[in-house]
Structure formats: C-alpha cells, structure tokens
Amino acid sequence: AQAAAGAAPPYRVGPGDVVEIAVEGRADLSRLPTVQTNGHVFLPRAGEVAVSGLTTGEIAARLQPLLAGEDLPAPRVSVRVRDYQSQFVWVRGAVQRPGRKPLREGTRLVDALLDAGGFQAGASGEVTVERTSGAFADGSREVRSRFGGESPTPEELEQLGLPLAPGDVVTASVQLWVVVAGAVRSPGRRPFEDGLTVSRAVEASGGPATGASDRVVIRRAGADIEADLGDIRDGKATDVVLAPGDEVTVRSRRL
C-alpha cells in the first residue's frame, strides 16, 4: 500500500455535482448551480459554460473573463464543490453500511471505510482496493492492507491514507478460520491468512504437546491429507498450505 499511495489526484467536477460560484462583491453574479448532464452550468452574463472535467481552480480561471464587464473589469471568482454527486467508489464485504459512496476532494481509504460505518464484528482487518480504471502509482491494479486493532500503527496510518479514484472497489474481508486439535498445547480455532501452513498453525497453537507424534491429519471437505512434521522440519517434505475451514489434528504417539 505504501508504494501505491502517491499523491491524491485533484478532484474534477462532473454532472450532478453542485458547485458554489462566488464573485467577490457581486452577489448578483454568484450562483449555486448543478452541473448538468451535458457538463455545463448556466450563469448570468456568462451563459452556458462547460465545466465537466475541470478542477475548481480551472473553472474559476475560465469564468473570470466571461464575467468581466465595464462594471467589473477584473472579477475575483472562487469556486468550490458544495455537493459531490458525480463520482463514486464502492465499499463491500464486512462493513456496517456497504454500497456506493461519493468520491470527494482528497477522498482516501479511511474516508470510504468511515462512510461505510467501519468494520463489522466478523471482519478480518484485511482490506483490498481494486482500481477499475487505470492503475496505482506503482503500476498495480490491486492493493491489500491489513489493520490489526483500534490504535493504528504508523504503517497502518499510511495505508489508510491511500488516495482513492473514481470507480475504486474497496472490499473488507470476513475473518476465515482453521481449527487445530489433538496433541497441541493450545487447541482451538486460529485465524486463517493466505500462505498459512500446517507447521505454522501448529506453532501458533503452542506447538506439539507432551506425547505428540509428528503425524498430522488435515481434514478438508471430506478428504484427509496426511503430513509429517518431522519430515517438514528436516526438509524432506513440503509444508502443506492450508485452506479456510481446514481441521488440523496432531496425533499422539502410540504407547
């Protein structure tokens, strides 16, 4: 996420946005128009003006000569977006309020997650941002981040600052699990993450208990997979990569 962050792109106005146009000292020329489907706004004296695809600064620069007159040779124009309604991102998965969220000036990942009400209780903390149009600063089309608790680390704060673009899809993953049972010190459910192996799952469960053998059985969708922890440690066998829902049982030694 750090490599893909980059700078937030400037917001470009589009149809549906409500823009506030203020002309200093001339309330009669100031307006609050909605950008129409053709990308134009109508203003007194200036008439129909194309603004779609422009930043607020570019709109102000375009309007200044159009609003000038004998009574106002050098108009001072300021423009800001009052209501963002032209561009959106999607937030889905394990959040409180999934759905389409408006993209505002400088919207970042944290803003989209807050708009969605934050994580649900069953969220894993892993968030994927998919860029449907274009790519991130590092050339990738997808960025993954993981957030571990209520107090973000400096690295997590940087990841939360990822600038979003129109059409981005933010997915908060549901926490998946594996079960480690049998002759281990702390049997029970363990969080699943990509690349989790049988030896790491056993280690996370406190390691083999007294009387444990090296034999492990992995139950997966009705099929049993056998592994030997001793062979894995010695490099004689490949560590088995687990899948969500696997049940790992460490066998006891036979007396």
Q: pLDDT by residue (tens digit) across 100-149?
A: 999 999 999 999 999 999 999 889 999 999 999 888 888 999 999 999 87
Which stretches in the chain have pLDDT values below 50? Answer: 1-4
Report residue 62 as tokens. Answer: 């375009």
Q: What is the pLDDT of residue 3?
A: 43
Distance between CA atoms of 221 and 87, rounded to whole angstroms? Answer: 43
- Distance from the first to the final alpha carbon of the chain: 52
Helix (H) or strand (E) holding 5: helix 2-5
Whole-number Å distance between alpha carbons of 242 and 49:
60
Residue 255 has a pLDDT of 55
Count CB-CB contacts under 10 A for residue 235.
8
Residue 208's pLDDT is 95
Question: What pTM, to 2 d.p., does this model score?
Answer: 0.77
Buried b (16+ CB within 10 A) or exposed e, 3-35: ebbeeeeebbbbebbbbebbbeebeebbbebeb
